[in-house]
Amino acid sequence: MNPSLEYSMIQSVAHDGEPANVVTLCNEQGLSITLMDIGATWLSCQLSIDETETRELLLGVSSIEDFYKQECYLGVTVGRYANRIAKGQFVIDGKQYQVSTNQAGNCLHGGEVGFDKRRWKIAEQTNDKVIFALRSEHGDQGFPGNLDVSVTYQLLADNSVLIDYHANTDSATPVNLTNHAYFNLGNGEDDCKQHRLLINAEQYLPTSEMGIPLDKPIDVVDTGFDFRLMKSISKDFLSDEQQVLARGYDHSFVLKPDCLAGEKAAEAISPDNKVKLSVFTDKPAMQLYTGNWLAGNPNRKGERYQNHAGFALETQFLPDSMNHLEWNQPSCILQPGEQYHFSTRYQFELIG
């Protein structure tokens, strides 16, 4: 397949009146990914299972019109700050900032017009990678500083998708970039709760109904958030008040320090035991979201997704972390002269 082949779903123009730019990358091991400059979005991930089946592993839509209709951040690059900022407020160097609020008075995934809604520039394209770049001006959604961002998607020979994030600023500002892909590794017949999942974390962060931290990370021991040994997502689903409030899992896990040394952060296995996903990252936390509010969003078939059709594993800083220095987590405030550089690798393998 031609790496620059336009994905057939994108036929119409984007909101700026120009066509979306779409790129497909393929390797010899049977994996192909499709990417779009609107939102620096990961549109599709297809894996060859055998001679008769090529399986789509991501949730997605079939047209640019439906892309704009969906409200669940399918496959987009999220920024400036992934997850929530309580009341959209924070203080840097004694100055208080108020940023865009777009969910119950809080800032979610960068605000009303986050990075997911922008057209990114294709800064570089080769046979195995695409680099998207974006300039976020000082005051964008209320955030301070001019921020230059790039996101590199690279398809590796071991069936990994490497996502590399870079940013720099001329004024101190919060930065927390992630990808919001929803995975379903099955054949389309099961929802995400039938997947088996492992998360390399001993703590998770309890939150309010709106996803705002209640206090501090707590141990997963003796809770439904214990994924240290692989188990089905359904096993402890809605087993405690935290999940009932969120209608499922929508919580950040503090990854164990050995993830920084190359240990996997998470592993998921498809319901039919044919596909394994391994996640590697140098971010300190990861949000597990089980698609609790997917119902009604358009799918690839021109129909509608149901809740829990897919799950997201969003590598990031903890939500609202700039307002909780007592957590002793890595700082999410990027300073002038510093380089924001984090990576996440999603590896897909056939089992058996």
Give me the catalytic one of 18, 267, 314, 338. Answer: 314
Q: What is the largest CA-CA distance in the chain?
A: 61
Q: Cβ(44)–Cβ(34) under 8 Å? A: yes
Q: Residue 49 carries which DSSP code?
A: E
- Identify whether 6 is a catalytic site residue: no
CA distance 326 to 164: 29
- What does the buried/exposed string (b/e) look like for 150-186 if buried means 16 or more CB atoms within 10 Å of the residue's CB? bbbbbbeeebbbbbbbbbbbeebbbbbbbbbbbbbbb
Pull the structure tokens for residue 112.
């009303």
CA distance 233 to 25: 31
- Identify whether 324 is a catalytic site residue: no
Q: Cβ(26)–Cβ(46) under 8 Å? A: no
Helix (H, G, I), strand (E, B) or coil at 163: strand
**Alpha carbon separation from 267 to 94, 150, 160, 198 (Å, rounded):** 41, 27, 13, 5
Give me the catalytic one of 109, 180, 195, 308. Answer: 180
Catalytic residue positions?
180, 314
